[in-house]
Amino acid sequence: MSTYIFGRSTMVNMDPLFYPEAVAVVGASPDIVRDRAGFFGSLRECFKGRLYPVNPRHAEIQGLKCYGRVKDIPEQVDYALVMLPREKVPAVLEDCAAAKVKFVLVFTSGFSEIGDFELERKLVDIARAGGTRIVGPNCIGAHCPENGLVYYPPMMSDNPGDVAFFSQSGGHALNFLIRGLSLGVAFNKVISVGNQADLRIEDFIEYFGADERINYICGYVEDIKDGERFKKLARSIIIEKKKPFIIWKGGRSEEGARATRSHTGAMAIPVKIWDSVMGQLGVINAESQEEMADILTSLRLGFLPRGLNTCILVAGGGSSVELTDAVSLNGLSVPELSEGVQDAIGEGISRVNTSTRNPIDLGMFGFAPNIFVESAARAAEDPAIDIIMVCQYPEIVSFMVKELWEASADLIVEGLSKIKKPVVMVIPRVVHHRADVDEIRADFTRKLNAAGIPVYTSAARAARAARKIARYLDYMKRNAG
Amino acid sequence: MSTYIFGRSTMVNMDPLFYPEAVAVVGASPDIVRDRAGFFGSLRECFKGRLYPVNPRHAEIQGLKCYGRVKDIPEQVDYALVMLPREKVPAVLEDCAAAKVKFVLVFTSGFSEIGDFELERKLVDIARAGGTRIVGPNCIGAHCPENGLVYYPPMMSDNPGDVAFFSQSGGHALNFLIRGLSLGVAFNKVISVGNQADLRIEDFIEYFGADERINYICGYVEDIKDGERFKKLARSIIIEKKKPFIIWKGGRSEEGARATRSHTGAMAIPVKIWDSVMGQLGVINAESQEEMADILTSLRLGFLPRGLNTCILVAGGGSSVELTDAVSLNGLSVPELSEGVQDAIGEGISRVNTSTRNPIDLGMFGFAPNIFVESAARAAEDPAIDIIMVCQYPEIVSFMVKELWEASADLIVEGLSKIKKPVVMVIPRVVHHRADVDEIRADFTRKLNAAGIPVYTSAARAARAARKIARYLDYMKRNAG
């Protein structure tokens, strides 16, 4: 186990939390209703270390010997999950402290978030006396699939992953993890921090910054307790470690900020101040969970636009207006292409019912995959263009002539993958609630992603993500060295 | 055939266009590549009247006798579709005029939209001489499934429908039609107007306003040619006929407006002026195709909020913050509930890890369908609340405990359907590219829609649609009588 030094501070070594050898589940139950969160069952199925259920009412749970108290466990416990009613938590923490348990997750709620600061402080005092550190209370703790320490079995993965996520909401920890997995994101570690009575977001950020397995750090926060420490950590992570750092802050509206006070007791930070500080730090400031996922997945695919000048290619005048509106209202520019590039694109298509100015409306030629990809490649030759945004309607094309779509998809992916500038695909969701159509779209998306091309269901989403990534890259350029 | 009088103007009777007895397709071809749009094949399959292919190079197409010229057809043609190269169009129109064809669709492009105003005017002069009216050029004309006059066979429907859609883009005509069909919208009539050389948007609006089959009118426009006539028609439709009138205008951004000039030669209307005029007229002003579909589907389900005060119900503190932010930033309010209502809701749930203030965070109780629907019913009793917005995560629940979801869905639908105030459901799309999960969401959506409850994938979309509908209802109230 290594000692981490990060900047000048001495970091909390979280290895025994994320890579425990021995885990205790206090309040484990064979009853699925009592094991409400299902965490014991999940660890029984997935955890690669030694697992100890603790519950005086059982001799054995799911084939494992069950212990009456933590101190009865015959080895030192690295990580204990406590899921008992709140009045029973202090006594269990005394046991954990006496047994020198390294980390305790207090899953239980009903502490500072309902105003009981005293009981929460008591937990911390008891734990610290034995050198035990607390995650929570009021959270779901640590997830590290490398080690089989998972919230739920479907979250296991052979891919060790390179993304970390910290969350002030247990629900969002699950939610973003499930969303990310379905988008092909491999999470190395996730932490739900709860009330942060002892271990704070800043401790996890520091550890994730130093962790060489992790290349991307994402977070959901409602407030930051130690602003100065946060700023130092953010600077180190972004500029020294060169890890993109994406934060989605809850409470961006006044009414949402009021809701964060009911949720985590967060002090409201005016959104303008938040946005400005994040901008100064180079933190990528996501405005929703969807946007955080959009930015993360695009970055991981290598979508790295150096500016905001976008060329839009699509079949149809109405669609070209629609995409231009969405892109333009979300911060990108759609400049007229140079004459030479327009002429080159124009050579391949009719001059009737098309436009080469930008947006490029290919008309019916947009359904010819070779012309579509050649036009995109030519647009990419314009030095004024930073981003190639292409749009396809597999749902409509396959609705009209299914064979045409099947013959087109692979040619489009192959052609676009050769373009050296950042390419992003928009596939509007036109048809809803049709499994066959969903599959056509999913299959095309998978192929494009495999070729390093991000895919969005709207030009607005694509534009917002591109703008934030371009701003981050600009920040990195200005702060190089 | 009736004579329509609408206000003081004499309306163009479009019956022979939408309900033709005899249709000619000039340029029909047995070759699928030449019959590019596939319209002849579609009419051959679906049209309920008499269909006449016209093409001097064939004696028969798909089992129908083929005529060399329109004037050879042995009866009067109501509607002729012309899909020939542009240089051949004037001669065909002369034929049509001589044969007293009532309406001609000029599918062909390459007229005023590329600057050839003269050729376009020539077409109109030729046609008018014979009393023939032109739809287009540069469009896909009329769709009326009642009569089998459809763009594509999958667009046929047993439901005669009560929605009309006019579009300045052929692509959007197809796109919105396909989108709407998948959402359960039944279109009575769709028209793609193209360059509006002769028949204009205003003519179709007038006809749709007078058409008793039509209860909802939607449109995609890039500009309005006769503003005064449009205003008069809008007022009549909205206030006298009480038909909701939803318009999505392309070119809301400066760059998008430039794109409309390349597309339809539209004069840019500054978006602020547009929005203000639409507001004065009571037109529901959609900002995207998705929003137009959202508003239309919600209205048709009877989602009629009388104000903007929204109660949000969801399981989880993070989600309650997320929904409140999205709702609040999109124009709705989330006021604190009255004490009595809070107490009633609080009786059913634990006071730990929940909040009854609004947003209502039900914590784990949000997964108990009876508590979920009872809490929603109690919130609806607060006289200050106009809208009940409920959120469920079938993807996450079924990911964790599939049986739990299966047991919940019907109970939730049944319980919510009894609430007398407008209820809207948000089902975030958490899991992507998974057919089994898509089916769970689609099934739940269908059940909710059948119970009159609109469903959105985000609180932001739900809020925008609710705000626009509430504004429309307020306009109607102020302009009653």
CATH number, domain with residue B56 = 3.40.50.720
In this complex, is the C-beta atom of B223 within 8 Å of any C-beta atom belonging to chain A? no
Q: With contacts defined as CB-CB under 8 Å, which chain B residues touch A446?
A: 433
Token pair of A325 as six digits: 């509106």
| Spatial contact of B85 and B64, defined as CB atoms under 8 Å apart | no
Counted across chains A and B, CB pairs separated by less than 8 A come out at: 241
Q: With contacts defined as CB-CB under 8 Å, which chain B residues touch A171?
A: 315-319
Residues A281 and A330 in one domain: no
Alpha-carbon gap, residue A271 to A288, rounded angstroms: 13
> What letter represents residue A169's amino acid?
S
Q: With contacts defined as CB-CB under 8 Å, which chain A residues touch B182?
A: 430-434, 437
pLDDT score, position A58? 95
% residues pLDDT > 90 (chain B)? 84
Distance from CA of A346 to the nearest CA of B (A): 14
Backbone angles phi, psi at B180, to 5 degrees: -60, -45
Residues 6+ apart with CB under 8 A from B111: B86, B117, B119, B120, B123, B137, B138, B195, B197
Alpha-carbon gap, residue B413 to A251, rounded angstroms: 30
Backbone angles phi, psi at B436, to 5 degrees: -65, -40
User: Cα B446–B450–B455 angle (5° rounding)?
Assistant: 55
Residue B305 lies in a domain: no
In this complex, is the C-beta atom of B42 within 8 Å of any C-beta atom belonging to chain A? no
Residues 6+ apart with CB under 8 A from B53: B24, B25, B28, B40, B61, B62, B64, B65, B66, B67
Alpha-carbon gap, residue A455 to A297, rounded angstroms: 9
Please tell me the total number of residues recorded for chain A in this structure. Answer: 481
Q: With contacts defined as CB-CB under 8 Å, which chain A residues touch B324?
A: 253, 255-256, 258-259
A-facing residues of B in 168-197 (CB < 8 A) are 168-172, 174-175, 178-179, 182-183
Residue B426 lies in a domain: yes
In this complex, is the C-beta atom of A361 within 8 Å of any C-beta atom belonging to chain B? yes
Residue A78 belongs to domain spanning: 5-135
Mean pLDDT of B398-403: 77
A-facing residues of B in 254-313 (CB < 8 A) are 254-256, 258-260, 262-264, 288-290
Q: Do A318 and B38 touch (CB under 8 A)?
A: no
Q: Do A175 and B396 touch (CB under 8 A)?
A: yes
Q: What is the DSSP letter of B338?
A: P
Alpha-carbon gap, residue B164 to B213, rounded angstroms: 9
User: Cα A378–A305–A430 angle (5° rounding)?
Assistant: 75
Helix (H, G, I), strand (E, B) or coil at B10: strand
**Is A117 buried (19+), middle (13-18) or exposed (0-12) by CB count in 10 A?**
middle
Q: Do B329 and A435 touch (CB under 8 A)?
A: no
Q: With contacts defined as CB-CB under 8 Å, which chain A residues touch B357?
A: 262
Residue A131 Ramachandran class (φ > 0 left, ψ -120 to 50 alpha, else beta): left
Domain end marker among A263, A279, A300: A300
Domain end marker among A115, A135, A155: A135
Q: Please, which contacts does A31-36 make with residues 24 or more away whose CB atoms are closer than 8 Å?
A: A32/B401, A35/A83, A36/A83, A36/B364
Residues B331 and B394 in one domain: yes
Residue B30 lies in a domain: yes
Per-chain mean pLDDT for chain B: 93
Helix (H, G, I), strand (E, B) or coil at B289: helix
The beta-strand segments (E) located in A73-185 are 79-82, 103-106, 133-135, 141-143, 163-167
In this complex, is the C-beta atom of A86 within 8 Å of any C-beta atom belonging to chain B? yes
Is the pLDDT at B371 greater than 90? The verdict is yes
Angle between helices A402-417 and A435-450 in degrees, nearest 10: 20
Is the pLDDT at B4 greater than 60? The verdict is no
Q: Do B263 and A320 touch (CB under 8 A)?
A: yes
Q: Do A167 and B318 touch (CB under 8 A)?
A: yes
Q: What is the DSSP letter of A418?
A: T
Domain end marker among A84, A100, A135: A135
Q: Which of B168, B288, B324 sits opposite A255 (nearest CB)?
A: B324
Q: Do A169 and B316 touch (CB under 8 A)?
A: yes
Residues B183 and B105 in one domain: no
B121 pLDDT tier (thresholds 50, 70, 90): very high
Q: What is the pLDDT of residues B406-417, one digit of tens each?
A: 889 999 999 999
Residue B228 lies in a domain: yes
Q: Do A179 and B255 touch (CB under 8 A)?
A: no
Pairing of strands B60-61, B50-54: unpaired
Residue B82 lies in a domain: yes
Residues B85 and B208 in one domain: no
First and final C-alpha spacing in chain B? 31
Q: With contacts defined as CB-CB under 8 Å, which chain B residues touch A169?
A: 316-319, 321
Mean pLDDT of B128-152: 96
* Residue A419 belongs to domain with CATH number: 3.40.50.261
Q: Do A318 and B400 touch (CB under 8 A)?
A: no
In this complex, is the C-beta atom of B355 within 8 Å of any C-beta atom belonging to chain A? yes
pLDDT score, position A193? 97
Residues A340 and A255 in one domain: no
pLDDT score, position B351? 80
In what helix (H) or strand (E) does residue B39 lie, and over which residues does it extend?
A: helix B39-46
In this complex, is the C-beta atom of B325 within 8 Å of any C-beta atom belonging to chain A? yes
Helix (H, G, I), strand (E, B) or coil at B6: strand
pLDDT score, position A9? 57
pLDDT score, position A33? 61
In this complex, is the C-beta atom of A152 within 8 Å of any C-beta atom belonging to chain B? yes
Residue A305 lies in a domain: no
Pairing of strands A22-26, B103-106: unpaired
| Spatial contact of B263 and A320, defined as CB atoms under 8 Å apart | yes
pLDDT score, position A8? 46
Alpha-carbon gap, residue A255 to B358, rounded angstroms: 10
Closest B-chain CA to A170: B318
Residues B296 and B322 in one domain: no
Mean pLDDT of B350-363: 90
Q: Do A396 and B322 touch (CB under 8 A)?
A: no
First and final C-alpha spacing in chain A? 31
Alpha-carbon gap, residue A132 to A65, rounded angstroms: 24
Cα→Cα distances A168→A222, A224, A269, A445, A455, Å: 7, 10, 15, 31, 29
Residue A423 lies in a domain: yes
% residues pLDDT > 70 (chain B)? 97
> What letter represents residue B98's amino acid?
A
Is the pLDDT at B425 greater than 90? The verdict is yes
Helix (H, G, I), strand (E, B) or coil at B134: strand
Q: Do A329 and B154 touch (CB under 8 A)?
A: no
pLDDT score, position A1? 33
Q: Which of B38, B114, B334 sits opposite A400 (nearest CB)?
A: B38
Is the pLDDT at B2 greater than 80? The verdict is no
pLDDT by position in tens, chain A (length 481):
333 444 445 799 999 999 999 999 999 988 766 665 688 999 999 999 999 999 999 999 999 999 999 999 999 999 999 999 999 999 999 999 999 999 999 999 999 988 899 999 999 999 999 999 999 999 999 999 999 999 999 999 999 999 999 999 999 999 999 999 999 999 999 999 999 999 999 999 999 999 999 999 999 999 998 999 999 999 999 999 999 999 999 999 999 998 888 887 777 788 999 999 999 999 999 999 999 999 999 999 999 999 999 999 999 999 999 999 999 999 999 999 999 999 999 998 888 788 999 999 999 888 899 999 999 999 999 999 999 999 999 988 887 777 888 889 999 999 999 999 999 999 999 999 988 899 999 999 999 999 999 999 999 999 999 999 999 999 999 997 6
Q: Which residue has the higher pLDDT, B114 or B217?
A: B217
Q: Virtual CA dihedral for A254, A256, A262, A264, nearest 10 degrees?
A: -110
pLDDT score, position A34? 61
Residues A236 and A283 in one domain: yes
In this complex, is the C-beta atom of B253 within 8 Å of any C-beta atom belonging to chain A? yes
In this complex, is the C-beta atom of B320 within 8 Å of any C-beta atom belonging to chain A? yes
Distance from CA of A126 to the nearest CA of B (A): 23
In this complex, is the C-beta atom of B86 within 8 Å of any C-beta atom belonging to chain A? yes
Give the residue from A193, A158, A192 showing the smallest Cα distance to A177. A192
Residues A236 and A131 in one domain: no
Closest B-chain CA to A293: B430
B5 pLDDT tier (thresholds 50, 70, 90): very low
Handedness of CA A429, A434, A435, A437 (dihedral sign): negative
Cα→Cα distances B78→A181, A407, B41, B404, Å: 57, 38, 19, 59
Residues B320 and B345 in one domain: yes
pLDDT score, position B481? 60
The β-bridge partners of A288 are none
Residues A27 and A129 in one domain: yes
**Is B173 buried (19+), middle (13-18) or exposed (0-12) by CB count in 10 A?**
buried
Token pair of A142 as six digits: 């640590």
State the complex-level ipTM.
0.94
Domains of chain A: total = 3
Residue A178 lies in a domain: yes
Residues B150 and B173 in one domain: yes
Strand order in the sheet with A103-106: A50-54, A22-26, A79-82, A103-106, A133-135
In this complex, is the C-beta atom of B59 within 8 Å of any C-beta atom belonging to chain A? no
pLDDT score, position B36? 60
Helix (H, G, I), strand (E, B) or coil at A117: helix
Residues B387 and B474 in one domain: yes
Residue whose entry in the numeric block shows the structure tokens 């890259």: A473
Q: What is the pLDDT of residues B159-198, one digit of tens each?
A: 999 999 999 999 999 999 999 999 999 999 999 999 999 9
Q: With contacts defined as CB-CB under 8 Å, which chain B residues touch A86?
A: 352
Cα→Cα distances A171→A220, A377, B87, Å: 11, 43, 64
pLDDT score, position B37? 64
| Spatial contact of A391 and A428, defined as CB atoms under 8 Å apart | yes
